Chain A
Amino acid sequence: MARITLDGIAHSYDQDLSYALKPINHEWTQGRSYALLGPSGCGKTTLLNIISGLVFPSQGRLLFDGKDVTNLPTEQRNIAQVFQFPVVYDTMTVAENLAFPLKNRGLGRAAIRTRVSEIADLLGLTSDLHRRARRLTADAKQKISLGRGLVRSDVAAVLFDEPLTVIDPSLKWELRSKLKAVHRALDVLMIYVTHDQVEALTFADEVVVMKDGRILQIATPTQLFEQPEHTFVGYFIGSPGMNLVDAEIDGAEARVGEQTVRLSARYNKPPAGSSVRLGFRPDYTTLVAGGDMKVRVQRIEDLGRRRLAKVSLGAQDIFAVVPHGQSVPGDAAGIAIKPERLFVYVNDERVAGEPL
């Protein structure tokens, strides 16, 4: 039913002096859930507001199902939005809150009542329907905001702007699973803005990682972890983030300080003056005796499920896992990494090499 196309969308708040959002081409499809992930000020909320029509982009076109809606006001787009802070109409009961968008669109009474009770049922609000909305807890209020979006059967997309910020930590999990359940039940397009990687990775089918107004990578949670396209993605996703060390590339070998390590592909010589880094996940880096590169162990953290070592590789600090049952090697410590887990980043972008 709904497909949202971003055609060269870009936005500047100061007459193109600087971009809050750099040009983006992308398509969101019906029934899937997306998360916009990035640190604050990365442009994710701007992008969300462009889709909802609260902000008009300074460049590009926005299409809903191929129809240009770039200049349509919010109320004429079929979107719903849940904000960071719960928005409910204080003067109304829960039922009136849910009915409000339908009433404004001139729906009949009977139709409103069936729709409201359906949605209240779905969200678990039925017992509160006749209470005044302002007395409810924050998570119930967020459900109402969500419900006001969902009651409209024509809704093309539901947008979430960090909706769990003010929710009690113990209720976050519950509300998040409610969201997933709603998503499965209603088959709508959902776009979820957050700066919390756990929220993004557990909620979304696809995650859009953004930084400084730019989309760095759009991929499934697994792909983001396995093959980060950008050093920031590698570092931001995962805990701890990807190890990134300065290196020199020479064909299918990389030199880190005095040591050399074999890569899985042959790379062209990067342009002079560019920053070249080698990236590898701590999760795929094991601390061993001998290994591919020699390291000095600084400390071992026992995280229960696994042990993590902070080690120095030359002058740079990285993390590695210590396999079960393995004793910590002393002077002969080194790290072992499979060549296909080693990625080369030139000026922060991943470069592909020719297979050997």
Chain B
Amino acid sequence: MIEKPINNRAWLLVLPVLAFVLFSALLPMMTVVNYSLQDSMGANNFFWNGDAWFRDVLNPSTDIGARFFDALGRNLSFSFAALLIEVPLGIAIALCLPRGGWAVGPCLVLIALPMLIPWNVVGTIWQIFARADIGLFGAAVNGLGIPYNDTQNPVSAWITIVIIDVWHWTPLVILLSYAGLRAIPDAFYQAARIDAASRWAVFVNIELPKLQKVLVIAVLLRFMQTFMIYTEPFVVTGGGPGSATTFLSIDLVKIALGQVDLGNAAAMSLIYNLITITLCWIFYTIMTQLDRRRDA
């Protein structure tokens, strides 16, 4: 590894990015921090509340705390389920795609289509598609003899959200993996044949290591998006039935806008944000350090 030269003037190249991101990030973030540390006794009358909101949210025996930990559990299991399906499926489909020829273009366009639909439309499609009476998916699943109703049965609702996410976002993993696979020079495959490597050995020793960088992006992006999931459950199940699909962001909006409980909502969103960042950091560190450690 060549060491990068130290050059603090590189900051100049980063400044525009900083300006654009700070403009949108700083004030909203400060507003939320503000709310999280104050209480209001009515219109625009705030006083210092210290870490009280945070203690409430992080205490599972309070009402808000219980809600928070329930929703957090749902978020974690949802992200876990979605990643567990999407990443292997995405890599598998990328391996099945043709390596060249006329079919590549049409295949890529078809695969990318679900990602290009605005999120509320995605919800709308599935709202009808999953209905047992007039939707193909609901009718088909019921037709197979599996009781399914995404608006009344919590398990159905939960599975529906996972399926929507898999449908919607596996294409991202496919596109990134496919691009990563295409970047592997033919000589690697040829050498593997000469060495009589099995298909599995080729995958483990050539393809997977070369996919590492694109997979870091795919996994992190997918983790962030699934962990912040909002629109799909909001449109399709409204967080229900009961609270089966009330994920953190849905609960937050309910608390902030439904109950106008800004203090709790703000504290909760900061904790939520912190958890997301921490988990991403862990992912990022594991995926990038793993390799370096093996070298040593």
Contacts and interface: CB of A to CB of B under 8 A. Distances in A.
A binds B: yes
A75 B205 contact: no
Interface in A51-74: 52-54, 73-74
7 contacts: A53-B193, A74-B190, A75-B195, A81-B194, A85-B187, A89-B206, A100-B195
A92 interface: yes
A158 to B, nearest CB: 10
Taking residues whose C-beta sits less than 8 angstroms from the other chain, chain B's interface range is 20 to 34
Given A85-B187, A101-B195, 20 more contacts: A52-B190, A52-B194, A54-B190, A75-B195, A79-B194, A81-B190, A81-B191, A81-B194, A83-B190, A83-B191, A87-B187, A89-B206, A89-B209, A90-B210, A91-B204, A92-B205, A100-B205, A104-B196, A105-B196, A132-B295
B167 interface: no
B193 A75 contact: yes
Contact of A132 (B185, B190, B204, B294): B294
Interface in A90-107: 90-92, 100-101, 104-105
A53 B189 CA distance: 13
Given A84-B187, A90-B209, A75 B204 contact: no
B285 interface: no
List the 5 closest pairs (A to B, CB-CB), nearest first: A83-B187, A75-B196, A101-B195, A87-B191, A104-B196
A-side binding surface: helix, strand, loop or mixed? mixed
Interface in A124-141: 132, 134-135
Contacts of B187: 83-85, 87
Contacts of B191: 81, 83, 87, 145, 148
A80 interface: yes
Given A52-B194, A75-B193, A104 B201 contact: yes
B84 interface: no
A85 B185 contact: yes
Contacts, number: 61
B-side binding surface: helix, strand, loop or mixed? helix
B198 interface: yes
Contacts of B294: 91, 132
A54 B195 CA distance: 13
Interface string B191-224: 1011111100100111001100000000000000
Interface of A: 52-54, 73-75, 79-81, 83-85, 87, 89-92, 100-101, 104-105, 132, 134-135, 145, 148-149
Contacts of A92: 205
Nearest to B197: A104
B195 to A, nearest CB: 4
B47 interface: no
A182 to B, nearest CB: 17
A21 to B, nearest CB: 18
Contacts of A54: 190, 193
B196 A91 contact: no
B281 interface: no
B188 interface: yes
